Structure 1
Amino acid sequence: MSQKNETGILLLSLLITIGLIGGGWWWFQQQENLPFNSSNNTSTSSSDDLLSPGNRVLITQNATPEKQAATAAIANNNYAEAISQLEASLKKQRNDPEALIYLNNARIGTQKAYTIAVAVPIDAETNAAQEILRGVAQAQTEINNAGGIKSVPLKVIISSDRNNLDTAQLLAQTLAQNPEILGVVGHFSSDTTLAASQVYQKAGLVMISPTSTSVDLSGVGNYIFRTVPSDRFAGNALAQYLLQQLKLQQAAVFYNSASSYSNSLKNIFTTDIFAQGGDIVGEFDLGSNSFNAADAVRQAQQQKAQALVLLANSATLDPALLVIQVNNRQLPLLGGDSLYKPQTLQIAGSNAVDLILAVPWHILADPNSSFPQTATRLWGGEVNWRTALAYDATQALIAGLERNPTRQGLQQALSAKDFVANGASGKIRFLPSGDRNQAVQLVKVVKGNRSGFGYDFVPLR
């Protein structure tokens, strides 16, 4: 069989498998990935369509009739009816974070509250949006059940940037113009976060991203923070593992040149490799129209690559998975957190065994933490790192608002040298750059039954 035909068959197989995925699992729906770069898309929605404190359903996928009825009730200020309907909806779908946030807001009703917003990529990355919302909803539920922030409850406005740069800036402007909003959890991808950060910084509105890792965000403004470690940590961890654990010196890198995240991680990784005497023997653009997985792997082998490093973003997950299949476990594989997805286990399967990924958090890494158990009880299943770090971002906002519940006061609180908050992934502190000073977790693909696909991600000890 010719190499060209083999590649075509592999690609067809990949596409068919992807088409079969979208069904009923929810546990591993949460198992991450990073940004889909839809910056070339345009948005025709008004800002009113992009946000809701409970008066409209934003995540329409599998929305119950009760949730629909509840949003209509909230729009008419009938909070008692909304509470009843949302409680009924959550009995049907306990893992629906939008419903829980709306329920918490309905219970607040018209009383005084401190308001924050969460910006997520609904429509473009619905699973990721829900994962982030679960972290925010859990933190909101906990603080309100505990009596609020110095007796004042926390209200959350859900908003969607659709992972689009123009939409993200429009949304940021809308949020910034609402004086009730004191802080924002978001955005999802590094590209949308960078676009929106300009608006938040100019308006003096704190934004904390739980998922954007690009080094370009470091020091972009004193109102811009993140609870996820930057790519500097992930790139360094991967380089150290390649050089010190695998004892290999030569790598080929696969990345998306159109993604800030992917470029950021690639640059950090290659810099660390070169600094320690290693070599990058080839770079392959997964986003190129001419990219061919079989040709790229063959070329990497001819250039004496000893390992393949997959630094894809969500938009280039499919060609990255094809690389894993074509490689067929011939060369060791390493990658960034965008490969921390169910597709990697389900599609790549046995070819992904021993793949090493750098991720911000893993549910099994800290068995003594109370967060995973609480989250599992609340949602009826395990959560991933996006939920954990969205929880941390919300906890940071809560801790800051306890010090000073104003926009400027919140920024000053988060920037203070003595600021600390307790999060799912440990103590939350921010560097002057707005970054969080925290290491990443390396995970490995092994045979197992936790995911339901026959393979699992497990932390390296």
Structure 2
Amino acid sequence: MLFLFVVGLIYELNTQNSNVKSIFGNKQPQVTPSPQATISLTNSPTQAEMSLGDKILVEDKNNDRKTAGIKAFAKRDFSSAVNQLQSYIKANRKDPEALIYLNNARIGNSKSHTIAVAAPLGQSGQSIDTANEIMRGVAQAQDEVNQAGGIKGIPLKVMIANDSNNSQVATEVANILAKNLSVLGVVGHFNSDATIAAGEVYQKNQLLAISPTSTAVKISGFGNYIFRTVPSDKLAGQALANYTTAQLGFKRIAVFFNSTSSYSKSLKNEFTDALNQKGAKITAEFDFASSTFKANDNVKQAINQGAEAITLLPDAESLDRALQVAGVNQNQLPLLGGDSPYQIKTLEIGKQNVEGMVLAVPWHRKANAQAEFTQNADRLWGADVNWRTAMAYDATKALIAALQQNPTRSGVQQALSSPNFSAKGASGVVNFLQTGDRNAPIQLVKILRDDNSRSGTGYDFVPL
């Protein structure tokens, strides 16, 4: 009986876009079941980690109004949910989860197109910061399109899914989203391992996913339903190698990486290949995941083996060890790195030990200060946004443009696969190669001291 009940709810979910009055009318729509009802009845361990607005996935100490809004949403009292969330956001502008729920509450049960964002809402503050950065890009794009009248008059609804920055959980999330036929596309996942694991599910079930942050080369050509708005590690590796040899004039480099991370291994391999092509080489390799890793000993070994610079290529999980290396190095050797260390934690903990470090990232606010996206982001969030927000915005804008052409799963895939496809994004035109990759430039940034820093740490990432 329970099985038949759940099937019945799934049927209601897949027919939710019935002839109800649009959000853009003045009348509050009648209350009918919405997608999260099905999610709530699953026995999956991820069931409590998905929400259209009936659960708080990002806790906040000062969230009484947010909690009230979520409770109202769960009761389908969308008018009260809107009022409570609007009041909360006035004092908490940086909260993208609240803005997504607000826009979903405004839609209520009116006809809508639904996409999901899979974010790494783990237990650590660092993971939650990253998730918020990604969700800000999605929230901003959703807010803009709905404020402008929707997708041919139909608003965009966003479901938030927590993959806990874990490949197994990402697979579970992907399976749930794939079975939810109202979900027409996914923005995610964060790390390359999660994207690869979930990508197998999306590809099998023909649900298109666009990762804003996964850069591993393995994702290139992974499947015709898997895309990304961030350049691959091949381009980042080449940019770092070019800077190392052409600008610094170095030929002997020590590299630190995490052998358990697809991203870290991928970037290390691409950087190594690019160096070799320029007559330079890796003189020493050190694995953050090794049981023999010791920052003090490894830095000494790198220096003794003639390294002229250290390249730190941690993933999110090994960033702390990378900062240990920077602390031991104390600017003895110049530091370089990929996009993972581009976060405030690097500035807060690294301070003078990371001053002068050069990173390869997809986008920087200062280099795009006059862009429409940047100006709108400043007004919306009241704070600087980074490359993760920009790439997530681009992924969402790409899905919106595809939905305008054909709001079905196969239609979205066909639109993005077309050589004529383009969407206006934070970093210019968004389009894709046949491999699902985006041929976009890499921006090098340098950590510089600034007593009036925008980050508030005394240091900033500054574009070169």
Calculate the TM-score normalised by the size of structure 1.
0.89
| Matched residue, 2:99 | 100
CA distance in 2, matches of 1:150, 1:237: 41
| Matched residue, 1:346 | 348
Letter matched to residue 117 of structure 2: V
Instruction: Report the Cα offset of residue 62 of structure 1.
Output: 3.0
Report if aligned partners of 2:251, 2:279 keep a CA contact under 8 Å in 1.
Answer: yes
1:180-195 alignment, distance < 5 Å: 180-195=182-197
User: Residue 162 of structure 1: SS of its match in structure 2?
Assistant: coil
Instruction: Report the Cα offset of residue 65 of structure 1.
Output: 1.3
| Matched residue, 2:177 | 175
Q: Which of 266, 269, 273 is 2:268 aligned to?
A: 266
1:5-404 alignment, distance < 5 Å: 46-62=45-61, 64-124=63-123, 125-404=127-406
Instruction: Report the Cα offset of residue 204 of structure 1.
Output: 0.4
Instruction: Report the Cα offset of residue 90 of structure 1.
Output: 0.7
Letter matched to residue 357 of structure 2: L
Q: Which of 452, 458, 461 is 1:454 aligned to?
A: 458
Any idea what the Cα deviations from partners look like across 1:139-166, whole Å, max 9, x if unmatched? 0000000000011100001110111111
CA distance in 1, matches of 2:129, 2:454: 19
Larger relative contact order, structure 1 or 2 (CA cutoff 8 Å, min sep 6): 1
Instruction: Report the Cα offset of residue 367 of structure 1.
Output: 2.8
- Identify if the C-alpha distance between structure 1 residues 369 and 116 changes in structure 2 by more than 3 Å, giving closer, same or farther: same
User: Residue 332 of structure 2: SS of its match in structure 1?
Assistant: coil
CA distance in 2, matches of 1:223, 1:309: 33
Deviates more, 1:206-215 or 1:87-96: 87-96
User: Residue 311 of structure 2: SS of its match in structure 1?
Assistant: strand
Report if aligned partners of 2:118, 2:187 keep a CA contact under 8 Å in 1.
Answer: yes
Letter matched to residue 98 of structure 1: E
Report if aligned partners of 2:220, 2:437 keep a CA contact under 8 Å in 1.
Answer: yes
CA distance in 2, matches of 1:451, 1:75: 37
CA distance in 2, matches of 1:267, 1:256: 12
% identity of equivalent residues: 55
Instruction: Report the Cα offset of residue 301 of structure 1.
Output: 1.0
User: Residue 157 of structure 1: SS of its match in structure 2?
Assistant: strand
Report if aligned partners of 2:369, 2:375 keep a CA contact under 8 Å in 1.
Answer: no
CA distance in 2, matches of 1:169, 1:78: 33
1:368-447 alignment, distance < 5 Å: 368-447=370-449
Letter matched to residue 311 of structure 2: V
Letter matched to residue 459 of structure 1: P
User: Residue 291 of structure 2: SS of its match in structure 1?
Assistant: coil
CA distance in 1, matches of 2:95, 2:348: 24
Instruction: Report the Cα offset of residue 218 of structure 1.
Output: 0.6
- Identify if the C-alpha distance between structure 1 residues 63 and 288 changes in structure 2 by more than 3 Å, giving closer, same or farther: farther
CA distance in 2, matches of 1:66, 1:162: 26
Deviates more, 1:85-94 or 1:232-241: 85-94
Instruction: Report the Cα offset of residue 368 of structure 1.
Output: 2.5
Gapped regions of structure 2 (runs ≥ 5): 1-42
User: Residue 119 of structure 1: SS of its match in structure 2?
Assistant: strand
Following superposition, which runs of at least 4 residues in structure 1 exceed 3 angstroms of deviation?
none
User: Residue 151 of structure 1: SS of its match in structure 2?
Assistant: coil
| Matched residue, 1:11 | none
Instruction: Report the Cα offset of residue 45 of structure 1.
Output: 5.6
CA distance in 2, matches of 1:375, 1:63: 23
Instruction: Report the Cα offset of residue 289 of structure 1.
Output: 2.3
User: Residue 201 of structure 1: SS of its match in structure 2?
Assistant: helix
Report if aligned partners of 2:368, 2:374 keep a CA contact under 8 Å in 1.
Answer: no
| Matched residue, 1:15 | none
Letter matched to residue 80 of structure 1: S
Letter matched to residue 343 of structure 1: K
CA distance in 1, matches of 2:363, 2:399: 20
Instruction: Report the Cα offset of residue 63 of structure 1.
Output: 5.6
Letter matched to residue 169 of structure 1: T
Deviates more, 1:107-116 or 1:343-352: 343-352
Report if aligned partners of 2:113, 2:407 keep a CA contact under 8 Å in 1.
Answer: yes
Aligned residues: 417
CA distance in 2, matches of 1:153, 1:351: 48
Instruction: Report the Cα offset of residue 92 of structure 1.
Output: 2.1
Gapped regions of structure 1 (runs ≥ 5): 1-43
CA distance in 1, matches of 2:177, 2:62: 25
Deviates more, 1:74-83 or 1:139-148: 74-83
CA distance in 2, matches of 1:341, 1:145: 31
| Matched residue, 2:13 | none
Superposed CA RMSD: 1.1
CA distance in 2, matches of 1:157, 1:102: 9
User: Residue 245 of structure 2: SS of its match in structure 1?
Assistant: helix
Report if aligned partners of 2:51, 2:160 keep a CA contact under 8 Å in 1.
Answer: yes
| Matched residue, 1:6 | none
Instruction: Report the Cα offset of residue 53 of structure 1.
Output: 0.6
Instruction: Report the Cα offset of residue 279 of structure 1.
Output: 1.3
Instruction: Report the Cα offset of residue 454 of structure 1.
Output: 1.2
CA distance in 1, matches of 2:68, 2:122: 21
CA distance in 1, matches of 2:187, 2:398: 10
